[in-house]
Amino acid sequence: MKHLISPSLLSGDFLHLQEDVEMINNSEADWLHMDVMDGVFVPNISFGFPVLNAVGKVCKKPMDVHLMIVEPQKFIPEVAASGAYMMNVHYEACLHLHRTVTAIREAGMKAGVTLNPHTPITLLEDILYDVDMVLLMSVNPGFGGQKFIEHSVEKTARLKDMIERKGLHTLIQVDGGVNLETGKRLLDAGADVLVVGNFVFNSPDPCQTIKELKEL
């Protein structure tokens, strides 16, 4: 499968979000990544459901929602109502992860489980059969524009190996500090979906940057 690019709107211009979404619509981006933060699970607050709903109305690409919040299972109906394609919940935020990913799928969405940089992939051994995607954080979640954690490349390769050994087709998404250089190495290690925030939105020509990321 050709890899997918999911630009993160967290690095967009919040006064002109519609223009940014239209840029995404007209670009080669495959998905749109939406980062929801609560100031509890992560030390920052981004945006919530009113913004998700508004973007959902104009976005023509599948929305990939990354919930950096405690108790994400409480908000499955709200995320589904925004038109989201994929709902990512953090492993570290879910006491009953199997119940949560099952409920996400029952609500009509794809289910993703996200790991913080310090969380070992071995913890996925028994949930891998029930999720559509694993999102590996390659920065500590909470902010755009942070430095890529090198260890993420080797972690991606180990996860790819684990998925293949089980005969599964679970997607691997990587999020944080991705650019053309780190992106290439992640793809070589087995990543399927790259989330890219700062590198796209703060480039002189975001549409062209997305094209270059697609060509990796």
Annotated catalytic sites, by residue? 35, 175
Question: Rounded to an integer, what distance in angstroms lies between the CA atom of residue 169 and that of residue 110?
Answer: 13
Options 14-22, 72-80, 86-94, 190-198: segment touching ligand DX5 (CB under 6 A): 190-198
The number of angstroms, rounded, from the C-alpha of 181 to the middle of its chain's C-alpha atoms is 19
Q: Minimal distance in Å, beta carbon 68 to Zn ion?
A: 7
Question: Binding of Zn ion at residue 66 (CB under 5 A)?
Answer: yes
Q: Do 134 and 159 contact (CB within 8 A), yes or no?
A: yes
Measured CA to CA, the distance from residue 23 to residue 110 in angstroms comes to: 25
**Which residue sits closest to Zn ion, CB atoms considered?**
66
User: By rule CB under 6 A, what string of x and - marks binding of each residue 84-123 to ligand DX5?
Assistant: ----------------------------------------
Q: Where are the beta strands (DSSP E) in the chain?
A: 4-7, 32-37, 63-68, 86-90, 110-115, 133-137, 171-175, 193-196
Interatomic CA distance for residues 32 and 60, integer angstroms: 9
Burial (CB count <10 Å: 0-12, 13-18, 19+), residue 118: exposed
Among 30, 35, 38, 64, binds ligand DX5 (CB under 6 A): 35
Tell me whether residue 30 or residue 175 sits nearer to Zn ion (CB atom). 175
Nearest distance from C-beta of residue 165 to Zn ion, angstroms: 27
Restricting to residues 136-175, name those near ligand DX5 by CB under 6 A. 139, 141-146, 175
User: Least Å distance between CB 179 and Zn ion?
Assistant: 15
Number of residues that bind ligand DX5 (CB under 6 A): 22
Distance CA 19, CA 207 (A): 12
56 binds, among ligand DX5, Zn ion, none (CB under 5 to 8 A by kind): none
Burial label, 81 (beta-carbon count in 10 A; 0-12, 13-18, 19+) = middle
Residues that bind ligand DX5 (CB under 6 A): 8, 10-11, 33, 35, 66, 139, 141-146, 175-178, 195-199
Footprint of Zn ion on this chain (CB under 5 A)?
35, 66, 175
